[in-house]
Amino acid sequence: MNRTPVVFIHGAWLHALSWESWAERFASRGFLVFTPGWPGEAYVAREVRASCSEVLAGIGLDTLTDHYAHIVRSFDTAPVIVGHSVGGLIAQHLIGANLGRAAVAIAPAPVNDVPLPAPPARLWTPGRDNSDSGLVSLSPAGFHQAFANTVGTEEAARLFERYAVPAPRRLLADLGCAGAARSPRAVADVNNTDRGPLLLISGQEDLLVPDAVTRAVYKQYGDSTAVTDLKQFADRAHSLVIDSGWRGVADHVLGWLDDRGLHAYSA
């Protein structure tokens, strides 16, 4: 029996540790779990916040996509890909290119011609965006306001301290933030009928990738006969993978995988 690998891809403003609870839960169900960080990512979030890393600042969508494509290709057994935010965009790109057995895109940055809405006002604090380093930092208040807007102040502060990191300005530009021209890599083959199953997940109180954006992406898959499903979580924000309600999202994904015949062990 072979264990099914699961590769988790984190998004902007979060560290790879953001998947720690998911990794434990999926491993307890028998899956072979991997949570590879971005190139050059320090071991803990506070080190990333303190370092103003030139390596991190140089990361764009090309680098991230190629990084995770290499990881997914490295397995003898095709993995399930689970991505959040920009990780959800990459997950769709990879599954559309027939890389991976199935994909889950949670609050994904939009693909193709679906527009990215303007970020909430004062998302990052002027003077604290590490402009010279090419990084954009969220303040604790900005993180609570825009990223974890459905949780209390104390929980938001805990989440920020453990998981929040700056985002590369280059990557945000590649995603089309602040009116920048979106990267040609911000795409997915929505017409590929041979790809594995895809699950899109949205939080209906998400301010960064609103539910309407994920629904618009879901509609783009409408002409494909490949399996594409959508799950909307009420009263959930962009923090739905790390906040106190994470288990409900993770268990829905586990149930969806089981329903699609994607089990932890295969012959």
Confidence of residue 35 (pLDDT cuts 50, 70, 90): very high
Asked if 148 and 243 touch (Cβ cutoff 8 Å), the reply is: yes
The residue with tokens 């295969």 is 266
CA neighbor of 4 nearest in space, from 74, 75, 77: 77
User: Residue 176 contacts by C-beta under 8 Å, 6 or more apart in sequence?
Assistant: 115, 116, 182, 186
- The CATH code of the domain that includes 179 is 3.40.50.1820
The pLDDT tens digits for 205-258 are: 999 999 999 999 999 999 999 999 999 999 999 999 999 999 999 999 999 999
The pLDDT tens digits for 48-66 are: 777 766 778 889 999 999 9
CA distance 233 to 123: 23
User: Residue 258 contacts by C-beta under 8 Å, 6 or more apart in sequence?
Assistant: none
How is 12-49 classified by DSSP, letter by letter? TTB-GGGGHHHHHHHHHTT-EEE----TT--SSHHHHH
Residue 122 or 262, more confident: 262
Length of the chain: 267
Mean pLDDT estimate for the chain: 92
Count: domains in the chain: 1
Asked if 206 and 107 touch (Cβ cutoff 8 Å), the reply is: yes
Kindly report the pTM of this predicted structure.
Answer: 0.94
Enclosing domain of residue 35: 2-266
Q: What is the pLDDT of residue 57?
A: 86
User: Residue 173 contacts by C-beta under 8 Å, 6 or more apart in sequence?
Assistant: 60, 180, 181, 183
